[in-house]
Chain A
């Protein structure tokens, strides 16, 4: 889960990377996949910053911020940014293969086990509880981010607008996001001028 979205605009990685080999990237992302429970944000920090020292913790934070404002999964974007920096497109492909291979195999094993035992009340209760916990984690993450990001009436208004239109009214994401993004950027410009 994500912890930081910052508004600062500096390039997220310093221009002169030190050498990280393809093999080092691949094995690193295999570890990230295996260590990542409830998403890989913490595991990526552990491997890329603490163990392998590919990037600094500041670079991690600003890369994550960039990954979050770009479309798609923020941590996939971050994987792309980090792997591209050291080994280009080849590195990105190998990093993604390393990241997904083992988790997908484990997932298939879990589904087979679940389907086999889903009739047991204990398994049903455990699954319902895990799903409820995951919902709680989503709200907890939302609250953590809200505390950092909602600093003005404008930002609160946009949070509420997005929540009401997608969460409550269930409007289609594509059209809603296009309209709300345009509106948010227009308001951002106006506030910037005044």
Chain B
């Protein structure tokens, strides 16, 4: 057993003590912030003006900070659409050729429409050609970035939303009642760039936004759902307000650290939120995303699900459409109820997306068999071989 449990257990105990102290400290700091929050509750326009001048990614309020909206009436019939994805990264050590796999679970559940069929599917695609495995700068073909790790994550995110747009378009064509399309996580996914004005963001964000546009055209609202949100866009805005210098700050009053440290938007906005209520809508001002997203700029609200505070992101055209936003809220309430704390349709999509260890083994065997059939030797690297065949 390589884990030194005796040593780790001591550290776990120390961590427990620290977490308990930190939790107590958090409530004390929230008390400190009360005055600042109260001062800005109705001065949200001042905050919004300030937000436009900040460099960091921040939340821009679109109404009073203490806005609370109850769940709208439940929809009797609606269709829930969702996709989720998982990937297998190219295995440098495996030796069975360079490839990646993206598996997207796509789900359509029509509620209150017994004549319609439920769709639970997995769509798997293998990336193995040069075009799949390298992202090439269109202006300078010599610049190639391998499709792996964070870039493969980004590609998977695009594939998820592409499948969702497919679902939305086919749903729209049926002319059935309202539909809501859900993805897990965020609309504001990150693409690491190696240098400024790189081609990677253009590649992924343009593809992504094109899919959002398809959903807008299909009139199907899309939302990204983040369970137990750790978003800090509003916290960032307040940091900008107070200057982030504890010694000179009225709130922190010369304390050694900023009162906002370690807090999330949910701590600040979610305190008096009741179950199924949502906060007002905030726009996320992001210098990285806004130039690409255009009319699909992201907005978010927080939703109290009974157990936790979730963050729901929607594009601008959903945030500004009362019916669409209300449908997203109403559908999420029903879905979270059905899914015992997490939207049922997203859970089904996740079930269809997840790639198990045995799936990986089967894929590996398939690839090895095919290579062997063609006389290509598939040898693992010495390091992997050492892990597979342990010697003493």
| A and B co-occur in one complex | no
Interface residues in chain B, defined as those with a beta carbon under 8 Å from any beta carbon in chain A: none
